[in-house]
Structure 1
Amino acid sequence: MSEAENKDEFYQKLKKQLQDTTLWPSEYLYKFIVPTSEKEIGQIEKIFDNMGAVINTKQSKNGKYTSVSINVRMKNPDAVIEKYKKIGKEVKGVISL
């Protein structure tokens, strides 16, 4: 299986899980880990700009990485997945949790 097929399968499972367990619109908590860099953290913040998102960051003990938690109201599972895809495409070195 290619990486693209794995990602598509992952997003299909996530969508089904979100549909089955949550009434939409709903609050959703995104968690990411990025190399500590104003650029990468800023890119994530920009993607959630003007959405009323609550964004918290915490640097790792050695300062090499930063965890970014975003709590935001999303309208449906497709909107949640769209943000994951956008961040994966635009933010260098990001790990989605």
Structure 2
Amino acid sequence: MSVIARNVRVGRGEIDLLAVDGSERIAVEVKSRFRSDLDPMENFTEEKAAQVRALALSLRPRVHRVDFVGVAMTRGDVVIRWVSHAA
């Protein structure tokens, strides 16, 4: 997988990352948190999924899937959770 663009403006919205994995184009929504009591994955709601999906569908060439990435950073530790086909 390779990132091909960051902070892609789509109308009034934004897709955090565009990536390619083989022949698939992927829209990636990234959430990060710096506190141990907050899980970045909690911000991936159905509403957010629908929003990112709608933005991704308007891109050309076509986006094949939407992934979510949660990054939790605490006391020097970094935990990354990647959810493929999240929306």
Same fold? TM cut 0.5: no
Greater Cα radius of gyration, structure 1 or 2? 1
Q: Does 1 or 2 have the higher relative contact order (CA < 8 Å, sep 6+)?
A: 1
| TM-score, length basis structure 2 | 0.29
Q: Which has more helix, going by share of residues?
A: 1
| TM-score, length basis structure 1 | 0.27
